[in-house]
Chain A
Amino acid sequence: MSWQTARGYCWARGMRMLGERPAATFGGVLVGALALALPGCIFMLAQMLAPIVSRQPVAEVTAFVTPGTGAAEVKALRSRLEVMDGVARVRFIPREQAWAELQRRMRDGQAFAEIKPNPFPDALVVEFVARTAVPTVEATAAAMSKQPRVESMQADVEWYRRLSGLVQVTAGLLAPIALVVALLVILAAVGLVRQLAVMDSAELRLLDQIGAETDFIRRPFVYAGAALLGLAAAAGLGLMAGVRVLANPPLGELGRLFGLELGLGYPPGPLIVAFVASCLLLGAGAGNVFAGRQIALAKAAR
């Protein structure tokens, strides 16, 4: 079939364009892979952080109970704290539980086990309603410290203040950052394919001269562009896998310290398919546009 021959020729020519310039192709795939892996990694990071960031920062203060306080008195204190301004809930952490938890988290638990007696007091952890204003938290914490049977208070309001600010800034910056990265990716990808069209302008002129139809002239560039960005997408996915392998062990360690499950996960399958398909389409489209532009330039130069 003649159309198969023509398409086969176009495909072979497109692949030859890449093969005849191994250094440029390799460099192009590498640049494309880096450009494509960047938003991929941002996505993996966002995917990991989404459940954490989506939680509203909640202020917490801890009221340490005077040693020797009976269970009934602790219960009464808890009831009093629960009705104070801005409080969402109060958790009771017995001193034994705090001690056991500390030993579990520390690597050298044996050394702690030898410390006797248990140095921790009973504690009441007060959780505030999300988005409670910082002055309210501070005022309530001060009022709590004056309650009978409260030995001391730990209120890290500064941390709450910083986290609230960080969440607001991150949410505000994420969209513009994503937009800039997307634009950079498109520019890098389109630049790669443009190089191909410029480098092959002599053959393009010849094909025009011998009466090849426009589709026949453009098609190899379309195939080469799609293949180049397809390869870049595959290499980009490889880089993302590499980042995952390298980053997940330290992230896991970090997460354990905060009682969180941290780790980069691949984007969902359909999203990967859409990502690769978009790269193929972008490459094909860029090839088509630049081949057309080179044909026009060749004609104008006569």
Chain B
Amino acid sequence: MAADISPRLTSDQPFVQLDRVSRKYGAFRLALSDANLTIYRSEFVLVIGGSGAGKSTLLRLAGAIEAPSSGRVRIGGEDPARMRPNALAFLRRSIGNVMQEPLLLDRRSVLENVMLPAIASNQTRREAVERARAALNRVRFEDLDALPGELASGARQRVALARAIVNRPALLLVDDPISRFDAAAANNMLQLLEQFAISGVTVLLASQREPERLPARARLIRIDNGVLTQ
């Protein structure tokens, strides 16, 4: 049975829960230590921390891309570590991911890259094209036939964001998009993400620096050496 993660405009329901979660890489590197965090539906959470503080690890755990070394993660009330492969895939389709280094397929056009999650979700080609165009329009990206390898880092981030929202996710994870932008571009990105949160999407945004203008709905969390402080 797949998790019920359809977006609801109520913010009193826990959506992502981390319960004493630690994540170790290898024998010694502790990227996240005993973290407790609850994120509610349609909430906008901003995680601030320096390079190597554990932000990306937190996002990967919240996105069911990684499993914790100890503790428990729940998304929509379900523990991804205990889900069957197809149920986990179904859950992941409801989570949009924009990682620090967006994994774009450089030999496919921007449109094809953005369509990919829709096709993987068994949409028809026509629907996938329509959704991809709408998503690219939403992030204000127009050159649909461009190849990602030809794009600048900021443009790649916007394409990755379009790909992340093409399946109308309930949860959007964005890893450090604003550090690479100037103040105006960073502000635009924040406004865009805030709009998603207003429309019912839960947003977890990681950043190395605190933005000049904090979104009105945002809850700020700090992370340092794998330890969360709220």
Residue ranges of A at the interface with B (Cβ–Cβ < 8 Å)? 1-3, 5-6, 8-9, 16, 20, 202-203, 205-207, 209-214, 216, 302
Q: How far is the CB of B8 from chain A (nearest CB, A)?
A: 20
When distances are taken between beta carbons in the complex, the residues of chain B under 8 Å from A214 are 85-86, 89
Bound together, the chains give a CA A3 to CA B105 distance in angstroms of 23
Q: What 7 A-B pairs are tightest by C-beta distance, nearest first?
A: A211-B92, A211-B93, A212-B120, A2-B122, A210-B117, A5-B125, A211-B89
Instruction: State which residues 101-138 of B face A: CB under 8 Å.
Output: 103, 105, 107, 116-117, 119-125, 127-128
Bound together, the chains give a CA A258 to CA B66 distance in angstroms of 74
Bound together, the chains give a CA A1 to CA B124 distance in angstroms of 6
Cross-interface CB contact of A211 among B121, B124, B127, cutoff 8 Å: B121
- Are B125 and A209 in contact (CB-based, < 8 A)? no
Cross-interface CB contact of A212 among B89, B94, B95, cutoff 8 Å: B89
B183 within 8 A of A: no
B223 within 8 A of A: no
- Are A211 and B123 in contact (CB-based, < 8 A)? no
CB nearest to A5 among chain B residues: B125
Candidate in B66, B91, B93, B116 with the most chain A CB atoms within 10 angstroms: B116
CB nearest to B127 among chain A residues: A2
CB nearest to B66 among chain A residues: A302
Q: 4 more A-B contacts (CB under 8 A) besides A6-B120, A202-B105?
A: A1-B124, A2-B124, A5-B122, A209-B92
- Are B117 and A211 in contact (CB-based, < 8 A)? yes
- Are A2 and B123 in contact (CB-based, < 8 A)? yes
- Are A3 and B122 in contact (CB-based, < 8 A)? yes
CB nearest to A9 among chain B residues: B119
Cross-interface CB contact of A206 among B105, B121, B122, B123, cutoff 8 Å: B105
- Are A207 and B120 in contact (CB-based, < 8 A)? yes
B65 within 8 A of A: yes
Q: How far is the CB of A291 from chain B (nearest CB, A)?
A: 14
- Are A206 and B103 in contact (CB-based, < 8 A)? yes
Pick 30 A–B contacts, CB within 8 A, sort by A: A2-B123, A2-B127, A5-B123, A5-B128, A6-B119, A6-B120, A9-B119, A16-B107, A20-B107, A206-B103, A207-B116, A209-B65, A209-B92, A209-B97, A209-B103, A210-B93, A210-B97, A210-B116, A210-B117, A210-B120, A211-B88, A211-B92, A211-B93, A211-B94, A211-B95, A211-B117, A213-B86, A214-B85, A302-B60, A302-B65
